[in-house]
Amino acid sequence: MRRGDSDAGAVAFLTGMGAGLLNHEAGHQLAATFSEDDLRWSGTTWECRADCNAATIASSGFLAESLSSELLLNLPETPRKHPFVAGWLVWNIANPVLYTLHHELAGPHGDLKNFSRREARIMESLLVAHAASTALRWSGTVGEIEPFIFAREDGIAFGVAIKW
C-alpha cells in the first residue's frame, strides 16, 4: 500500500466516524421534528422545553446508530470493507459503550440522564448488547447472531442468541 492510499484511508475512516456522529445527532433532530419539539443545540448537546418528549428524543440518537449499523452490515462486501464504513461502524460500536461507561462510572450523563436509573440500565443493556452484536458480526468471528425480545407475564426478556 502506498502512503497516499493509507492517508486516503485514514481520511475516509475519520469521515466515517464523523458521519456516525452526525447520524446520531440527526436521530435526535428527526425525533424532535416529528414530535413537534424545538431543540436548542450547543455543539453536540441538545435541550428542549420541560414538557418535550425528552425520552423519545434522547433514545433516537442511539436508535439511529443501531439502524445504520444494520444497514452498513448488510452492504455488499466491497463497500462494507471501505474505511468510511469502518469508521462509521467503529463510531456506532464505541459511542454506546463509552456512553454507558461514563453514565455508570461518572453519574448521569448526556442522553441517558433523560431516563430513570432503572430505564437507563435497560437502555444500557440494549445498547451494549447491540454494540457487541455489531462488533461480532462485523468481525465475522461468529456465524449468526439473532437478537430477541419477548413479553412475559412478569416483564420482558431480551438478549442475543449466537449460532456457532
Q: Which is nearer to Zn ion, 111 or 124 (CB)?
A: 111
Round to whole Å and give the CA distance between 81 and 84: 8
| Residues within the interface to Zn ion (CB under 5 A) | 61, 111
Question: Cβ closer to Zn ion: 12 or 97?
Answer: 97
Query: Cβ of residue 142: shortest distance to Zn ion, in angstroms?
Result: 29
Take residue 10 and report the three cell numbers written for it: 485514514
Q: How far is the CB of 67 from Zn ion (least distance, A)?
A: 14
Q: How far is the CB of 83 from Zn ion (least distance, A)?
A: 24
Comparing CB distances to Zn ion, the nearer of 41 and 143 is 41
CA distance 30 to 62: 12
Question: Measured between alpha carbons, how far is residue 137 from residues 46, 82, 146 in Å?
Answer: 32, 16, 10
In the complex, the smallest distance separating the C-beta of residue 73 from Zn ion, rounded to whole angstroms, is 22
User: What does the alpha-carbon distance between residue 19 and residue 8 come to, in Å, rounded to a whole number?
Assistant: 16
Least spacing, CB of residue 127 vs Zn ion, in Å: 12
Nearer to Zn ion, 37 or 137 (CB): 37
Q: Which of 31, 61, 51, 54 is nearest to 115 (CA)?
A: 54
Q: Of 37 and 111, which CB lies nearer to Zn ion in the complex structure?
A: 111
Q: Nearest 5°: phi and psi at 53?
A: -85, 65
Give the torsion through C-alpha atoms of 74, 79, 82, 88, to 10 deg. Answer: -40
